[in-house]
Amino acid sequence: MKRSSVVDALEEALAELPILDVHTHLCGARLAARGLHDILLYHMLVSDLYAAGCPSGARLTQFPNWPAREEAHQRVEEALPYLPYIRNTSGCWGVRIILKDLYGWNEPLGPDNWRQLDDRVRERADDTAWARSILKRANIRRTCAEYCRRGKGDGDDVLQYSLEWGMFMRTQWGEFDTAVYDLERTWGRPPEAPLAIGGRPRPTNERTIKTLEDVHAAIEHYVKSIPYDRVVSTATGISTDIDYRLPTDDEMRAALARRAEAGAAERDIYAAYIGEAFLAELEKHGDEIVFQFSLGAEPLPFETASRISQKTLAQLAEIVGRHPRLRFQCFVASRHANQTLCTMCRELPNFSVAGFWWHNFFPGAIRHVMAERLDMVPVNKQAGFFSDAYVAEWSYAKTIIVRKQMAHVLAEKISQGQYSFDEAVGVALALLFDTPQTLLGMTPELGKAKR
């Protein structure tokens, strides 16, 4: 069989496999796009458009609020002149997949027709059967979403949840006390939405952390507030700009006293100290939750850039090794860091990797990362897919893109005699469906997660 024929046969076989999507931002009460803006102005497309010269680089109004029709329409109209410049990008390919497959739309978008498409999307926005049909068409059995978006549980039949709340080891553009601010923001409160990328302007917190005792009290509250019976994982970030050496209590006290004039040195102390204290407490619940985190996307004024240092990777290995009873799972946005993370998976039993995140979600990067992991990491230490989608339509498009890359990678393995066809399909099933169950406790049907 010719290689092109093998690729086609694999695409057909992979399309039949069930998928568990291990990380999204879907909202249980509003799973589908609320208008054209939710498809065209997904944040990865906003970056494409901004790069092409579109004036706006910021995301639209974010959860828990939604963009008003006026804001959504203004941003779509602003973007239209720049669409021809991004027609080459894989993000734009995703838009075309959505519009053609799900909305029967094949025309180029322009000033004269975009409102017609917007109306078509809005007509179906509140149709719960429509949203679920999109996931079913992608063969996505369950997807993991932010716990704060659960609402009254309207999406519990298709969603499981991750706790995306405090991010004590993630930096924000132009800030030096983010770890302390984010911890005090959560102190005494139930789980809610995380800080948006960009951070500022920052609301005044109800409580202020002034002492080391405050730090530990806030961490204790946070860990006790986690709804372990309703979430399978955290969803947080680790920044490469932080030095994760272990600060002493005295260093942390002194750094807290300097908070008003904090700089990079204090930032590192805050994040490293709070992060380590948090992990030590969370490890006590290591059989109840997975510490799922992102790596390699560092802040810029609007979004992020892909970068990571070797020092961070070395310190990450030390962190994982210090907490053997806590399971760690990494989303990496740096292609070159993947090999190092694969070697860590081989030597740290409580460390695993998942999918293709942000700056790795491009076909060339997906194929590179996937092929490397297949050669280096057991199938039960890697979850094969997450969409990072905010609406079901983007979950659909990303399954198409990933399956196509997987078909090419597996075809190459078959051509060199590494796998048989059936073995290749079996590997794909393990990555896409089996491993999310064994690593994360995701379940294909409604019910309590298996641990």
Q: Which CATH class is domain 137-440?
A: alpha beta
Q: What mean pLDDT is predicted for residues 11-16?
A: 97
Q: What mean pLDDT is predicted for residues 266-283?
A: 98
Mean residue pLDDT across the chain: 95
Q: Where residue 451 falls among pLDDT bands split at 50, 70, 90? A: very low
Q: What mean pLDDT is predicted for residues 7-16?
A: 97
Q: What is the pLDDT of residues 282-332, one digit of tens each?
A: 999 999 999 999 999 999 989 999 999 999 999 999 999 999 999 999 999
Q: Where residue 449 falls among pLDDT bands split at 50, 70, 90? A: very low
State how beta strands 159-163 and 327-332 pair: unpaired
What are the boundaries of each domain within the chain? 34-126, 137-440
Looking at residue 2, its pLDDT comes to 65
DSSP string, 343-409: HHHHH-TTEEEES--GGG-SHHHHHHHHHHHHHHS-GGGEE------SSHHHHHHHHHHHHHHHHHH
Q: Where residue 197 falls among pLDDT bands split at 50, 70, 90? A: confident
Burial class (CB in 10 A: 0-12, 13-18, 19+), 284: exposed
Structure tokens at 82: 């720049």
Rg over alpha carbons for the chain, rounded to the nearest Å, is 22
pLDDT exceeds cutoff 50 at 277: yes
* Alpha-carbon gap, residue 193 to 147, rounded angstroms: 8
Q: Determine what percent of the chain is predicted with pLDDT higher than 70.
A: 98
Q: What is the pLDDT of residues 117-162, one digit of tens each?
A: 999 999 999 999 999 999 999 999 999 999 999 999 999 999 999 9
Looking at residue 1, its pLDDT comes to 61
Using alpha carbons, list the distances in angstroms from residue 51 to 126, 272, 300: 33, 34, 13
pLDDT exceeds cutoff 80 at 16: yes
Looking at residue 199, its pLDDT comes to 62
For residue 364, what are the contacts with CB-CB under 8 A and spacing of at least 6? none
pLDDT exceeds cutoff 60 at 450: no
Q: What is the pLDDT of residues 33-55, one digit of tens each?
A: 999 999 999 999 999 999 999 99
Q: Which CATH class is domain 34-126?
A: mainly alpha
Q: What mean pLDDT is predicted for residues 7-31?
A: 96
Peptide bond into 201 cis (omega under 30): yes
DSSP state of 202: P
User: Mapping DSSP to helix (H, G, I), strand (E, B) and coil, where does residue 328 land?
Assistant: strand
Q: What is the pLDDT of residues 63-75, one digit of tens each?
A: 888 999 999 999 9
Using alpha carbons, list the distances in angstroms from residue 143 to 20, 27, 65, 382, 432: 6, 11, 22, 16, 12
Structure tokens at 40: 């065209």
DSSP state of 84: G
Looking at residue 201, its pLDDT comes to 80
Q: What mean pLDDT is predicted for residues 336-356?
A: 97
Q: What mean pLDDT is predicted for residues 230-239?
A: 96
Please state whether the predicted TM-score (pTM) of the whole model is above 0.85: yes
